Amino acid sequence: MSADCNCSAAVIKGVAHTTASTPRPHIVYTFQLERDGKTEVVKKRFSEFVALHSALGVTDVSLPPKRILVTTFVPSAWVDDALVSERKQGLKAYLNTLLENPTYRCQPALKKFLAPALRVSPRQFDLEDALPSTLSRKQAQEIAETVAATTYIAAAYYPDWSTDQFPPGDLDFSKFDILLFAFATPNSSNTLSWDSGSQSSLQALVAARKASGEGTKIMLSVGGWGGSTYFHQACGSSSARSTFVSALTSAVSTYGLDGIDIDWEYPNEAGAGNPYGSADAANLLTVLTSLRSALGSSKIISCAVTDLPWLGSNGNPLTDVSAYAAQMTYANIMNYDIFGSDFSPAPGPNAPLNNGCGTSSQPQYSAQAAFNQWTAAKFPAKQLLLGLPLYGYVYDSTKTTLSGSFVDPEPQEPTDELGPTRGSNQRPTRKTTSVTKRPPTNGKAAAATANLQSWYGQQIPFSSIVSSGALVKQSNGTYAQGGGFTEGWDNCSDTPFLFNTSQATVVAYDDTYSLTDKATLAKDNGMAGCFTWSLDQDDGTTLQDTIRAALGKST
């Protein structure tokens, strides 16, 4: 090392700490750097100091010690407030010692560490950066042990309309712990209606699973957005409920199924214009109780749900759903369609990971908020499956940023706590914003031109984005911009998007990066795992493999 340099003297005057949630909940230490008569702000994680220490080869200056308290990271993992305070002062002293010594002050590693352009922490995560929480040490250790011992579930919905293109015999059942065959629908007789040929497809699916030798569970999903018209009736009286439960039980027996998924969209809400009433949620519980009694304890019973618990008789989300959880195996959280080009005029995130900027106009609608809301309502985390979309939305727009609920272009403090609840799951009017773009993966757009204008106002499968050329699969299994599109990244919601201003086209979707983040959130929070809507929209099994890897499962 050479001390012969003209580096400006600098000093750290103040230090504080904040928390951030992307890519995982963590502590960020904020330092006031005074240099050349100016005060600058430097934000760093503890792990970045460890890397700096190693790069400088420092032997005569000590860092505060590493003190990981749990071996498996949980977002709410316990960390002493005293440790945070100790680290703040220790890191301040460490930096000042380096800055007082020209031998270190002039080193490129330290200059780079303090450079304005590099003050945003990288997407990689280190256990040493885990944020403090109100959990006791014992609670955090118990959660960590539970997480370490859990076998996570990677499930998927298999729509009956996709069986011609994706025949049951061609499926790799090793990729799926549960397949939910969608849909049968309640009818005016309180029994089940089926699409033409779907019963044969279900039989073929069960037969193919058996032939595969895999342990994949096959369930029947009942309802759906367009199939929830008669739930209110089928669950509304004692006689109707008896007929309905009998029909569900018969389906399980007839087709050799492992369970039933109730996709009622939604109790005590119109959904797609359906009849509803204030007793819907209570009636649903009666149906679930009867169904559990009829099926026994070995069969799976799940419900597809929104980010908020079902609406009770007062029109507000239920605050205690433990009685439902006692009858159910899983609640499948549909954290998608938060924005969509069919109902939102400006491009927005389809499936926000969190309220990363702390400025969402609807903070109840994200993966992290959904987890908070359901567990606060006493639904066990280990019975929650997080829904992940394998599709996006295409907008007729010249915007180069996502818009919607995120109103601040710069990341602020995350606030995924429960906010005031709304009396409806109908999508509200959103505000607009600018957001930060992630640099494109491959650095430039491909030469061939892609065109997605025929998809305006529609959902688009991930596989169709790829086949159009707007996304190009890379050798490492990730995807980069192509076909004249530019890739952006919404830091506020952890969402990738593509735009082509000359074609007035914006696509908000999910990719290997964002799906990894969501699956990791599910794992880190001790959830049961994840499911996708839907397997036919994947690029082969690339996204399913990504999710499985994030859950710690073989691919």
Residue 521: its pLDDT value, please? 94
C-alpha span between 269 and 267 (Å, rounded): 5
What is residue 4's DSSP assignment? -
Query: Looking at the domain assignment, is residue 190 inside a domain?
Result: no
- Out of 63-67, 257-261, 312-316, least confident range: 63-67
**Nearest of 414, 314, 333 to residue 375 by alpha carbon:** 333
Tens digit of each residue's pLDDT (9 = 90 or more) over 428-450 = 222 223 333 333 343 344 446 99
- 356-382 mean pLDDT: 90
Residue 97 has pLDDT above 50, yes or no: yes
C-alpha span between 397 and 280 (Å, rounded): 40
The residue behind tokens 């069969």 is 299
Query: Looking at the domain assignment, is residue 32 inside a domain?
Result: yes
Residue 543 has pLDDT above 90, yes or no: yes
- Out of 186-195, 334-343, 356-365, 422-431, least confident range: 422-431
Tens digit of each residue's pLDDT (9 = 90 or more) over 489-514 = 998 899 999 999 999 999 999 999 99
Residue 537: its pLDDT value, please? 98
The strand pairing partners of 489, in sequence order, are 496
Please check whether residue 16 is in contact with residue 88, taking contact to mean a CB–CB distance below 8 angstroms.
Answer: yes
pLDDT interval class at 368 (50, 70, 90): very high
- Angle (nearest 5°) at CA 106 between 103 and 112: 135
Query: Looking at the domain assignment, is residue 501 inside a domain?
Result: no
Residue 426 has pLDDT above 50, yes or no: no
Tokens of 206: 């069960």
Tens digit of each residue's pLDDT (9 = 90 or more) over 186-225 = 999 999 999 999 999 999 999 999 999 999 999 999 999 9
Q: Name which residue leads in pLDDT, 199 or 140.
A: 199
Q: At what angle do helices 198-212 and 238-255 cross, to 10 degrees?
A: 50
**Nearest of 193, 223, 299 to residue 256 by alpha carbon:** 299
- Identify the CATH number of the domain in which residue 65 sits: 3.30.1520.10
Residue 460 has pLDDT above 90, yes or no: yes
Query: Looking at the domain assignment, is residue 288 inside a domain?
Result: no
Residue 41: its pLDDT value, please? 86
Residue 382 has pLDDT above 90, yes or no: yes
Residue 139 has pLDDT above 60, yes or no: no
Residue 120 has pLDDT above 60, yes or no: no
Residue 64: its pLDDT value, please? 78
Residue 510: its pLDDT value, please? 98
Residue 70 has pLDDT above 80, yes or no: no
Q: At what angle do helices 238-255 and 280-295 cross, to 10 degrees?
A: 40
3-state secondary structure 342-403: CCCCCCCCCCCCCCCCCCECCCCCCHHHHHHHHHHCCCCHHHEEEEEECEEEEEECCCCCCC
- Give 211: exposed, middle or buried? Use CB within 10 Å, 0-12, 13-18, 19+: exposed
Residue 42: its pLDDT value, please? 87
Q: Please give the tally of structural domains in the chain.
A: 1
Residue 106: its pLDDT value, please? 85
Please check whether residue 449 is in contact with residue 502, taking contact to mean a CB–CB distance below 8 angstroms.
Answer: no
How many Cβ atoms are within 10 Å of 473's Cβ, its own excluded?
15
- Out of 141-145, 296-300, 484-488, 522-526, least confident range: 141-145
Q: What separation in angstroms does the CA of 42 have from each of 9, 95, 120, 489, 501?
A: 16, 11, 9, 23, 35
Query: Looking at the domain assignment, is residue 437 inside a domain?
Result: no
pTM: 0.71
Residue 365: its pLDDT value, please? 94
- 528-551 mean pLDDT: 97
Query: Looking at the domain assignment, is residue 272 inside a domain?
Result: no
Query: Looking at the domain assignment, is residue 62 inside a domain?
Result: yes
Please check whether residue 97 is in contact with residue 110, taking contact to mean a CB–CB distance below 8 angstroms.
Answer: no
Residue 9: its pLDDT value, please? 81
Q: Name which residue leads in pLDDT, 238 or 435.
A: 238
- 245-251 mean pLDDT: 98
Distance spanning both ends of the chain, measured CA to CA: 47
Range of the domain at 122: 10-147
Tens digit of each residue's pLDDT (9 = 90 or more) over 389-421 = 999 999 999 999 887 544 333 333 333 322 222
pLDDT interval class at 108 (50, 70, 90): confident
Q: Name which residue leads in pLDDT, 403 or 278.
A: 278
Mean pLDDT of the chain: 83
pLDDT interval class at 87 (50, 70, 90): confident
Residue 79 has pLDDT above 90, yes or no: no
Tokens of 425: 């799951």
Residue 344 has pLDDT above 90, yes or no: no
Residue 143: its pLDDT value, please? 52
Query: Looking at the domain assignment, is residue 402 inside a domain?
Result: no
